[in-house]
């Protein structure tokens, strides 16, 4: 088999793995959009905040230690103990549920029946607030996240592809774990949305807030529930991205790459978030591989947005999104 084709196959596989990582963030956007009809600008920051909290709890760091030391002249930094990864993850999940409750109590309950643009602006303010809160609580330095996930080249895939093609493919084991986790999340969220009472209530709230309230659905409970689930998805995404590249404040920018994923897959489709991520991930890697050398490289920075723009022109609802027809 020609070397060029083998390289393209390896690039495609790595692109699919990268697309899975994008999809983990996009899932949180879909959940919020299905419940409220708004694009949650804060989803990327939720992943950052969850990852910061996880590292802080795991390392026994004292929250707000920088502020306490600056005010009182102390030298406090940690409690002197560390937590097992699973315990730290469970506590972080509880923190995200508590954060969802606070968001509903302090922000969302005052915005019932407001225009979508008002809710969108609220999520922008929430994003900047959480980013600043994470900085004050845990510090702005880059942190190493280690919860025991396997990393490095998958020797199994390397051996299989070498035996089959005479060329071993480099696939990170962390990406394989992310793919398995994403598949489980999509299956669980789809079953929840389609076959549970609260999933049906979530779809009813998304269609019409007033109608949902009139049949006894608690809008405030649904919002706490969906923001809690989105917080858990953000925690999963934060673990994967933090394990891959460290926990740093640029992690919040992954929300920008999730936007074209949603445009391709559809803002209301959970499976669409995965398919859109796979298309974006593989497409940008292959385009960089074939066209990058001809046009100067760095095509991964803009390819996803150009592809999303084409979808907006020819299929604005995305591959799996619902087509809404308004009669006037």
Please report the pLDDT score of residue 49 as a whole number: 94
Whether 207 shows a pLDDT value over 90: the answer reads no
Mean pLDDT, rounded, for 200-221:
77
Q: Are 155 and 148 in contact (CB under 8 A)?
A: no
Measured CA to CA, the distance from residue 264 to residue 302 in angstroms comes to 15
Q: The tokens of 295 are what?
A: 């046009």
Q: The tokens of 186 are what?
A: 């999509």
Whether 84 shows a pLDDT value over 90: the answer reads yes
Please report the pLDDT score of residue 52 as a whole number: 93
Measured CA to CA, the distance from residue 225 to residue 201 in angstroms comes to 11
Q: Please give the DSSP secondary-structure letter assigned to residue 249.
A: G
Measured CA to CA, the distance from residue 223 to residue 219 in angstroms comes to 6
Please report the pLDDT score of residue 93 as a whole number: 95
CA distances from 191 to 126, 199, 258 (A): 30, 8, 23
The rounded mean pLDDT for the chain is 85
Give one word for 307, left, alpha or beta, with left for phi > 0 and alpha for psi -120 to 50: alpha
Whether 307 shows a pLDDT value over 80: the answer reads yes
How many CB atoms lie under 10 A from the CB of residue 66? 17
Measured CA to CA, the distance from residue 311 to residue 273 in angstroms comes to 14
In angstroms, the first-to-last Cα distance of the chain is 59
Higher-scoring residue by pLDDT: 39, 102: 102
Mean pLDDT, rounded, for 285-302:
85
Please report the pLDDT score of residue 326 as a whole number: 53
Tokens 């995200």 correspond to what residue? 96
Determine what percent of the chain falls in helix, strand and coil, rounding each to the nearest 5: 75, 0, 25
Helical packing angle, 270-295 and 254-265, nearest 10° = 110
Q: The tokens of 125 are what?
A: 């303010």
The residues near 153 (Cβ < 8 Å, ≥ 6 apart) are 170, 171, 172, 173
Please report the pLDDT score of residue 133 as a whole number: 93
Identify the CA nearest to 283 among candidates 4, 14, 21, 1: 14
Tokens 């093609």 correspond to what residue? 165
Q: Are 252 and 49 in contact (CB under 8 A)?
A: no
Q: The tokens of 25 are what?
A: 């963030």
Q: The tokens of 155 are what?
A: 């020797």
Q: The tokens of 269 are what?
A: 């489709």
Whether 182 shows a pLDDT value over 80: the answer reads yes
User: What number of CA atoms fall less than 13 Å from residue 238's CA on the CB side?
Assistant: 31
Read off the pLDDT of residues 231-264 as tens digits, 9 standing for 90 and up: 999 999 999 988 988 888 888 777 778 889 988 9
Mean pLDDT, rounded, for 117-137:
91
Mean pLDDT, rounded, for 175-196:
85
The residues pairing with 78 across neighbouring beta strands, listed in sequence order, are 61
Identify the CA nearest to 241 among candidates 75, 49, 38, 103: 49
Tokens 């299956």 correspond to what residue? 187
Whether 270 shows a pLDDT value over 80: the answer reads yes
């Amino acid at each position: 088999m020609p070397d060029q084709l083998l390289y393209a196959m390896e690039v495609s596989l790595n692109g699919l793995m990268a697309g899975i990582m994008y999809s983990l963030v996009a899932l949180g956007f879909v959940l919020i959009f299905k419940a409220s009809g708004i694009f949650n600008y804060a989803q990327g920051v939720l992943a950052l905040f969850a990852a910061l909290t996880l590292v802080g709890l795991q390392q026994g760091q004292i929250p707000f230690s920088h502020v306490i030391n600056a005010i009182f002249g102390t030298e406090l930094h940690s409690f002197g103990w560390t937590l097992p990864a699973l315990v730290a993850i469970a506590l972080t999940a509880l923190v995200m549920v508590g954060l969802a409750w606070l968001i509903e109590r302090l922000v969302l309950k005052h915005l019932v029946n407001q225009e979508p643009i008002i809710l969108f602006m609220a999520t922008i303010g929430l994003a900047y607030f959480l980013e600043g809160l994470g900085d004050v609580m845990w510090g702005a330095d880059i942190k190493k996240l280690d919860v025991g996930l396997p990393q490095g080249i998958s020797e199994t895939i390397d051996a299989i592809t070498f035996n089959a093609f005479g060329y071993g493919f480099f696939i990170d084991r962390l990406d394989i774990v992310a793919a398995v986790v994403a598949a489980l999340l999509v299956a669980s969220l789809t079953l929840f949305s389609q076959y549970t009472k609260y999933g049906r209530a979530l779809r009813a709230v998304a269609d019409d807030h007033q109608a949902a309230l009139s049949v006894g659905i608690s809008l405030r409970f649904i919002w706490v529930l969906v923001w809690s689930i989105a917080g858990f998805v953000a925690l999963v995404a934060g673990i994967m991205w933090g394990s891959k590249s460290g926990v740093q404040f640029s992690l919040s920018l992954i929300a920008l790459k999730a936007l074209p994923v949603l445009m391709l897959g559809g803002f209301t489709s959970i499976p669409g978030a995965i398919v859109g991520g796979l298309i974006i991930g593989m497409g940008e890697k292959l385009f960089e591989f074939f066209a990058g050398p001809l046009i100067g490289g760095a095509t991964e920075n803009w390819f996803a947005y150009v592809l999303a723009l084409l979808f907006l022109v020819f299929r604005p609802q995305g591959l799996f999104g619902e087509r809404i027809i308004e009669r006037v």
